[in-house]
Structure 1
Amino acid sequence: MRPLRFLCGSAALALALPVLSPAGQAAAAVPVSSVYLQNYATGLNVADSGGTVAAHNPKGNEDHQQWTPVAVDGGYQLRNSDESGTCLSRSGTSAVTASCGAAGTVWTITAGADSTYTVSAPGTSQYLTGSSSDSSAVALGPAGDPARWYLTPVSYATASMPSADTRTLDQVTFLTSHNAFANGVDGNFASFPVNLFPNQNYGISRQLADGVRGFMLDDYTVSGQAVLCHNSCDGVSSPVPLATDLKRMVDFLKANPGQFVTVFLEDYASSDVLKASLASVSGLSDVLYRPDQEGVATKGWPTMADLSARGKQLLIFSDRTRASDTANGWATRDTFGVMYQREWTVENYWSMGGGLGDSDWSCYSRWGTGRPLTVDSAAFHPLFVMNHFRDYTISGTASTDNGKLLNRAQNFCTPAARKKPTYLAVDRYDLGSPTPLSTVGTLNTYILAPGQ
């Protein structure tokens, strides 16, 4: 296990942060504290890679990705925060690093739309331009979205969590169990040897009682019914029907009207099979929340108090795409209340590595640079699903990883997404110090301060 990374642990450190100014006012200030140069189009960060400047997956303080803008004669230098005397520079159309006293280390930084900036060679129309793939060189090129950059603060300023009657769904963080069904308690979930590595230690009812509010489930079709299996249903005797676990959740929500649950389907069933399974769950339609029918994409997420008052307590996502369902000639899933996750959320890559040994803390989109974690708009903020688990579950590893969850959430994934995680997805949520539920509690004491 690698040791816990040490960063400035408080997410509440106030910085001189960029704010997009209204029309007619002065342009946004360039921040004076450490930032990530994060590409608007791809979400990738500028990193010093042995003198070459490359686009890398966001990786906190581990990869020479932090830069400090310093005002100098003629513009700004961008000084690498952990390589003393090293600055972002240029050689022809290539971006490189060089001694901060060298020619080519002064840049013009100009505020633009949507809290972005351009970084250009002074007196030219040559802009620092990002690449669409990790480890590809950053260069100088023409204006356009690849030449737009967030100066994302390394440590975000925060504000207190809004009151219970005003906080919105996207401001809250929920404990989420990865492969919640693979628990060895509710029933069979996989054949040998996968069944030797349950992701959770307790059944769905206990998970609900313990405070889990997000459930990742893998549904397959067996004998015309949606059932829950891990990797495959081959050789799995009597897997748990999806409807059984949904009924457990509906019953819990009916008995606890102030609670909210989200289901994430790794979805291998056809639309017809999934629709029939949902229709068989008594009371599900009463609590099902439909953001597509409430204008969330233009008005933003509702308050938790409003959802509670209306009894809208269950949100269901599928990882399938609208295009794939249409290509198969199936009804789109949102016609019966299942949302396409890629239209409403962003999600980081699902694995930190194998079950033993070192882990990869980089935080980047599961769905590639075409939908980076930074996707956002003024009206609608996609929910951020933060995965924090390995390829397979070993209790000692899960315990260690879960104890580092807060550090990764605050110092790696929040700046990578430019938003606080909405869902923290872990294996063995019962393990770790602090526990994942404690981490969720900490994240629910604040929101990111506006204008960053």
Structure 2
Amino acid sequence: MLMRNSLLALCTAMIVAACGDSGSPGPDPTPTPTPGPTPTPLLCNGGSQLCDRAYDEVAYATTHNAYSNATDGFIGPNQEFAVPRQLSDGIRGLMLDAYILDGEVVQYHALADLGTYPLLSTLTEIREFLQANPREVVTIIFESYVDGDDIADVFAEAGLVEYAHAQSLEDPWPTLGEMIESGKRLVVFTDLDGGARDWYLPVWDFAFETPYSFSVPEDLSCEPNRGNPENSLFILNHFLTQTLGSPELAEQINFNPLLGSRIEECMLRNDRMANFVTVDFYNIGDTLVDVAALNE
């Protein structure tokens, strides 16, 4: 009714202006300009609110042993889907293991007989995702058994070096918006040879983690493990390990209220944003929902 009354009033005013006091037609009214469309806000990792947040103020859904997945034929995998699907679904942190096997840098978990996947293939998949999604920031966290120079060679071959962000310990992290504008949208951490390149960052100088060798839900702990708890980045390991990956184990801990309450507990315990919420079988449970809530 309010809108109808407003339209009637507007029409009456236009008739009076057109006809004048005598009721005779007056000059044509000046056309009212039509407002243009409202600009679409720029998004950073899927949210406009994240563009002005520093990298270490954002949460990233992260896959443990991302390469070890059923799609690529691994036995006892930690994930259901391959890396391209993980990224498409919203995963923004990838834990990768690197080894040398027969002269090639490959990825496997503990035993090569359970499956291997070339590091070059995974890095190429990440580069393709970054090319197709220019407003996304992705992180790699390496458990590496390979010389840093060999890793750098694979990055160069995959065309990823140009995306890699160089970060000094003395400097604050840039915002996601700044990283996107610079084109440096890939952050690479490693536990071996970090610092060999300015973009190949020593993980435990920048981050700390919870323990990771949990076999039953009752073992889950928020105590600091590797890395200094004063570091600004927090890796929250949330997966169960009983020799091999298991969807049944993920079913036990990937759902709320357990997942959400542990995230909250560990953030309070360590006075840090849970930056990397790391899980097996991310497609089971509430990981993506809870990480999105952290970023609101």
Tell me if TM exceeds 0.5. yes
Q: Find the counterpart in structure 2 of residue 342 from structure 1.
A: 204
Matched residue SS, 1:280: helix
User: 1:314-353 maps to which residues of 2 (within 5 A)?
Assistant: 314-320=186-192, 325=193, 333-335=195-197, 337-351=199-213, 353=214
Q: Find the counterpart in structure 1 of residue 171 from structure 2.
A: 299
The 8 Å contact of residues 225 and 273 in structure 1, kept in 2 or not, is answered as: no
Identify, as 1 or 2, the structure richer in helix: 2
RMSD value, Cα:
2.0
The 8 Å contact of residues 61 and 291 in structure 2, kept in 1 or not, is answered as: yes
Specify whether residues 315 and 358 from structure 1 end up closer, same or farther in structure 2 by C-alpha distance, changes over 3 A only: closer
Asked if residue 409 in structure 1 is aligned to residue 295 in structure 2, the reply is: no
The 2-side partners of 1:363 and 1:390 are apart by 14
Q: Find the counterpart in structure 2 of residue 441 from structure 1.
A: 292
Q: Find the counterpart in structure 2 of residue 312 from structure 1.
A: 184
The 2-side partners of 1:162 and 1:206 are apart by 23
Structure 1 residue runs without a partner (length 5+): 1-160, 189-194, 326-331, 377-381, 446-452
Q: How many residues align?
A: 246
Q: Find the counterpart in structure 1 of residue 223 from structure 2.
A: 364
Structure 2 residue runs without a partner (length 5+): 1-46
Q: Offset at 1:163?
A: 3.7
Q: Deviations over 1:285-338 (max 9, x none)?
A: 22111113xxxx333111111111111111111112xxxx5xxxxxx6432631
Q: Find the counterpart in structure 2 of residue 209 from structure 1.
A: 88
Specify whether residues 230 and 174 from structure 1 end up closer, same or farther in structure 2 by C-alpha distance, changes over 3 A only: same
Q: Find the counterpart in structure 1 of residue 41 from structure 2.
A: none
Identify, as 1 or 2, the structure richer in strand: 1
User: 1:376-415 maps to which residues of 2 (within 5 A)?
Assistant: 376=231, 382-392=232-242, 393-403=245-255, 404-411=258-265, 413-415=266-268
Q: Find the counterpart in structure 2 of residue 267 from structure 1.
A: 144
Q: Partner letter of residue 295 of structure 2? A: N
The 8 Å contact of residues 275 and 336 in structure 1, kept in 2 or not, is answered as: no
Q: Offset at 1:358?
A: 4.2
Specify whether residues 271 and 166 from structure 1 end up closer, same or farther in structure 2 by C-alpha distance, changes over 3 A only: closer
Could you tell me which of 164, 167, 186 is aligned with 1:288? 164
Q: Find the counterpart in structure 1 of residue 26 from structure 2.
A: none
Specify whether residues 241 and 211 from structure 1 end up closer, same or farther in structure 2 by C-alpha distance, changes over 3 A only: same
Q: TM-score, normalised by structure 1?
A: 0.52
Matched residue SS, 1:398: helix
Identical residues among aligned pairs (%):
30
Q: Partner letter of residue 146 of structure 2? A: A
The 8 Å contact of residues 191 and 204 in structure 2, kept in 1 or not, is answered as: yes
The 1-side partners of 2:118 and 2:198 are apart by 19
Matched residue SS, 2:196: helix
Q: Find the counterpart in structure 1 of residue 284 from structure 2.
A: 431
Q: Partner letter of residue 345 of structure 1? A: A
Could you tell me which of 93, 98, 102 is aligned with 1:219? 98
Matched residue SS, 2:106: strand
Q: Deviations over 1:204-236 (max 9, x none)?
A: 111011000100111100122210011132x35
The 1-side partners of 2:152 and 2:217 are apart by 41
Q: Partner letter of residue 438 of structure 1? A: V
The 1-side partners of 2:101 and 2:254 are apart by 34
Q: TM-score, normalised by structure 2?
A: 0.78
Specify whether residues 164 and 215 from structure 1 end up closer, same or farther in structure 2 by C-alpha distance, changes over 3 A only: closer
Q: Which has the larger radius of gyration?
A: 2
Matched residue SS, 2:283: coil
Q: Which runs of 4+ in 1 moved over 3 A?
A: 161-165
